């Protein structure tokens, strides 16, 4: 297992040496000119009692987002068809709250089966789940479960107090035990240091099994949240994080998730070179705007990247 000091040394090496090292790992393990595309749908939005300082959906933030109606199965399937038409290969469904209610859980199980029948991969994020729920999701054919660690163990309580990072790791372990691939990651721009970012990446790399999918978000500063005025992430530090994720988790597909809407084409290109191989496609994420679809298609063309 690589030590913190060794990981920090990699992170702090000259920028182009880091990029070269990361790209070398990337081309050994991935097709560098293919970008996997996923589309997100918020099946249940808002009214969440958790206190994540970054989140639009927490009732403890000043975002005034009460619990909204749950999507019906027909609208979920319609959204999945649209995602496929856009060129996405994976459809990701999210629900707000600490853990799924029985009603939401049943709906998601039905949706997984129907979305898979359209020929799409499925991913779900719905908070804490137990063994029985993980077994049921596996039986429905779920491909990925998304559950982020968000930040470093040391910084976690500065961002969230209603649960611990150990709770998160417990759910990740349950998901992996049941043979569902894990999508996990975190958010850069919560006021954390580069040391926190390195620690978060080490935590991800040292899970019981390496994650198949790693989601790196740049904070979308949502007015009314406690982090609405958080300091910007230096763009080159963002690229360094992608590069270190690539080096520490060679086989994972690394996604530039939230925050791409405010990234230049050049910054995204550097991220792809450093080892990012996945994006979210479509107009919205869960509540926040995503990068523009037409601009994404153009960027793929200009960089000779193909969506997969």
SS3 252: coil
Total residues binding ligand DTB (CB under 6 A) = 15
Does 257 bind ligand DTB (CB under 6 A)? Our answer is: yes
Judge whether 109 counts as a catalytic residue.
Answer: no
Judge whether 241 counts as a catalytic residue.
Answer: no
Active-site annotation holder among 197, 255, 260, 271: 255
Active-site annotation holder among 109, 123, 241, 271: 123
Candidates 64-72, 225-233, 243-251, 284-292; binding stretch for ligand DTB (CB under 6 A)? 284-292
Judge whether 197 counts as a catalytic residue.
Answer: no
| CB contact set of 157 (below 8 Å; sequence gap of 6+) | 164
Q: Which residue in the set 63, 152, 217, 225 belongs to the binding site for ligand DTB (CB under 6 A)?
A: 217
Does 53 bind ligand DTB (CB under 6 A)? Our answer is: no
Nearest to 82 by CA among 299, 305, 293: 293
Active-site annotation holder among 55, 71, 109, 241: 55
| Residue nearer to ligand DTB on the CB measure, 7 or 126 | 126
Q: Which residue in the set 7, 25, 52, 56 belongs to the binding site for ligand DTB (CB under 6 A)?
A: 56
Q: Footprint of ligand DTB on residues 112-131 (CB under 6 A)?
A: 125
Does 171 bind ligand DTB (CB under 6 A)? Our answer is: no
d(CA 31, CA 278): 12
| Residue nearer to ligand DTB on the CB measure, 45 or 133 | 45
Pair of tokens at residue 123? 């991913």
Q: Footprint of ligand DTB on residues 131-170 (CB under 6 A)?
A: 146, 148
Task: Tell me how far, at minimum, the Cβ of 213 lies from ligand DTB, in Å.
Answer: 9
Candidates 66-74, 155-163, 215-223, 230-238; binding stretch for ligand DTB (CB under 6 A)? 215-223
Judge whether 92 counts as a catalytic residue.
Answer: yes
Q: Footprint of ligand DTB on residues 177-206 (CB under 6 A)?
A: 185
Q: Compute the 3-state secondary structure of the chain and give helix, strand, coil in percent, each to the nearest 5.
A: 40, 20, 40
Nearest to 97 by CA among 133, 151, 43: 43
Does 94 bind ligand DTB (CB under 6 A)? Our answer is: yes
Beta strands (DSSP E) in the chain are 34-44, 90-95, 121-125, 144-146, 181-188, 213-218, 253-256, 276-280, 306-307
Strands 90-95 and 276-280: unpaired
Nearest to 100 by CA among 138, 50, 44: 44
Task: Tell me how far, at minimum, the Cβ of 216 lies from ligand DTB, in Å.
Answer: 8
175: enclosing H helix or E strand:
helix 165-177
Active-site annotation holder among 48, 109, 241, 271: 48
Does 288 bind ligand DTB (CB under 6 A)? Our answer is: yes
Pair of tokens at residue 236? 């080159």
| CB contact set of 41 (below 8 Å; sequence gap of 6+) | 71, 76, 79, 80, 83, 91, 92, 93, 94
Q: Which residues form the catalytic set?
A: 48, 52, 55, 92, 123, 183, 255
Where do contacts with ligand DTB occur on this chain (CB under 6 A)? 56, 94, 125, 146, 148, 185, 215, 217, 220, 257-258, 285-288
């Amino acid at each position: 297992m690589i030590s913190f000091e060794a990981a920090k040394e990699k992170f702090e090496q000259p920028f182009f040496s880091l990029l070269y090292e990361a790209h070398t790992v990337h081309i050994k393990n991935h097709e560098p000119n293919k970008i996997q595309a996923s589309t997100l749908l918020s099946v249940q939005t808002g009214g969440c009692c958790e206190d994540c300082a970054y989140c639009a959906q927490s009732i403890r933030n000043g975002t005034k987002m009460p619990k909204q109606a749950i999507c019906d199965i027909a609208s979920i399937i319609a959204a999945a068809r649209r995602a496929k038409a856009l060129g996405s290969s994976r459809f990701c469904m999210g629900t707000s709250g600490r853990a799924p209610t029985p009603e939401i859980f049943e709906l998601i199980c039905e949706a997984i089966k129907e979305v898979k029948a359209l020929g799409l991969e499925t991913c779900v994020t719905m908070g804490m789940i137990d063994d029985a729920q993980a077994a049921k999701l596996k039986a429905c054919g779920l491909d990925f479960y998304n559950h982020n660690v968000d930040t470093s163990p040391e910084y976690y309580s500065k961002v969230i107090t209603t649960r611990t990072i150990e709770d998160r790791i417990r759910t990740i372990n349950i998901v992996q035990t049941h043979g569902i691939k894990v999508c996990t990651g975190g958010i850069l721009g919560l006021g954390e240091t580069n040391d926190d970012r390195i620690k978060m990446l080490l935590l991800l790399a040292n899970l019981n099994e390496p994650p198949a999918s790693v989601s790196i978000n740049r904070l979308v500063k949502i007015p009314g949240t406690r982090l609405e005025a958080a300091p910007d992430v230096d763009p080159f530090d963002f690229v360094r994080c992608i590069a270190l994720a690539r080096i520490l988790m060679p086989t994972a597909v690394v996604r530039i998730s939230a925050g791409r809407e405010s990234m230049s084409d050049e910054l995204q290109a550097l991220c792809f070179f450093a080892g990012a191989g996945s994006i979210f496609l479509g107009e919205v994420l869960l509540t926040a705007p995503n990068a523009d679809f037409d601009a994404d298609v153009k960027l793929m063309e200009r960089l000779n990247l193909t969506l997969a």
